[in-house]
Structures are given as structure tokens and as C-alpha cells.
Amino acid sequence: MTLEILTADQLAPVKHGFFTRKGGASSGVFEGLNCGLGSSDQREIVLLNRRRVADAMGVDDLALMGVHQIHSPDVVTVDAPAADRPKADAIVTKTPGIALSILTADCQPVLFSDPDAQVIGAAHAGWRGTLDGVLEATVDAMVALGATASNITAVIGPTISQRAYEVGPEFFEDFITQDPSYSRFFANGEGDRYLFDLPGLGLEKLHSAGVKEASWTRHCTYSNADRFYSYRRTTHAKEADYGRLISCIRL
């Protein structure tokens, strides 16, 4: 099966892709293109999947660069291929030939580009990282490399949608304690539950950071098991583990 790669017209002509789970070599609960080295999938199979992604991005294995994601607002800047994965949740570069990558399974994968300055970025933005400022920090890191915030295009790839993201009252309190206006990202669910709009918050954060062109592909990871991995769907199904989707961008 061939790889399925979702692209966004807004990011053209920069080479990029939000890869679905289709076209990979993993089996069982990981069936498809599991690119998560932190999963319990067979390491050699994950490396094979990642090699397929590197080939699709037109780079060698070492130039497919990512970070060891920790749900933080931390960003690293890279200028040469390297094997290590520093602990952070976003990565930026102005060096051609490096493919920046992010892994997700419900959290937001966000790809950034300033085509004039030739600066790109990729961020992993779950609820904690988004709340703590990882998207704004990614914009700041790109600006430090010569980008202009208002000239950056950012696209949120497949992520969990509001209708599938049920949370409790303590989660709601965490948000409105920081900013009461964040209540607009919550809808009433059953009983004391709420439905949280993660991509809505992501878009708000991007716009507040000065990004004028920000969008979401509107693909929900939870509701399409054939195409996407989902941590929450796996949890509800009581499965032992889950695959990780990869999203990439390169100059």
C-alpha cells in the first residue's frame, strides 16, 4: 500500500506532509505507518516506516529530524542533521535539506513556513503545550532566524475534534483560571462533562502570536480509525498501545 500524505495549499510550495497511518509496515494495534520510536512496536519496523517517510520527503534518514516530546513550550533550532532528539516540543530551521518532524496521536501537529525568509517550523501542541505557549514560542524562534510573524503560514494537521474530546470540570478549571475567556473553547457535554475545542484554541494562539494565515485541515484523529492513530480511541478500546502519526516539512 502506498503512503497517504495530506498537504495544505497554504503551505505550498514548501515540501510538507501530514502522513496518515496508511502505507506502513506495522501490524496489530500499530497497523500502518507507526513512526513512534517510543511505542512498543518492533523497533526495526518503526525504523522502516520512518525510512519510507524520509524517502517521501526526499532526505536521508539522519536528516529526518525530530524531538523527544514532553508536552512543553520548549523549541529547538537546528542547522545540521543529527541523530539525537533533544527534549522539546517544537523544532525550527532555515537550513535546506532538513525535514522537521513531529509525532502525534490526537495532539495538534502544526507546520509553519515563512517562504520569503526561508524559515520553517514544526510543533507538537497538545492541550498542555498549547496552554503553556509552545505555538507562540515556535513563532518567536522562527523570528529569531529572520522570519516575520505576519508572514508565517501555519497549518494544524489531523487532531482530535471538539465532538470527540470530552473532559472533566477540573480540566475546565485549569483553563479559565489562566484566562476566563478560554471558556469559549468548551461546550457542555453530558452531566458535568465538557467538550474541548483543541484546534480552536490552537488557532487563537497562532493569531495572537501574529500569524495572519492559520488554518486547520479539519481531520479528526479520533473518528477515523482507518486513517489516523488516536490515543483516546485506544484508551477507550482498552488496547495496550497506539501508533504515532508523523508530520513533516522541509526547505
pLDDT tens for each residue of 159-209: 999 999 999 999 999 999 999 999 999 999 999 999 999 999 999 999 999
User: What would the pLDDT profile of 15-61 be if each residue is shown by its tens digit?
Assistant: 999 999 999 999 999 999 999 999 999 999 999 999 999 999 999 99
SS (H, E, C) 112-161: EEECCCCEEEEEEECHHHHHHCHHHHHHHHHHHCCCCHHHCEEEECCECC
Predicted local distance difference test score (pLDDT) of residue 99: 98
Please state the domain extents for the chain.
5-250
* Reported pTM: 0.97
- Write down the CATH superfamily of domain 5-250: CNF1/YfiH-like putative cysteine hydrolases (3.60.140.10)
Q: Is the pLDDT of residue 83 over 90?
A: no
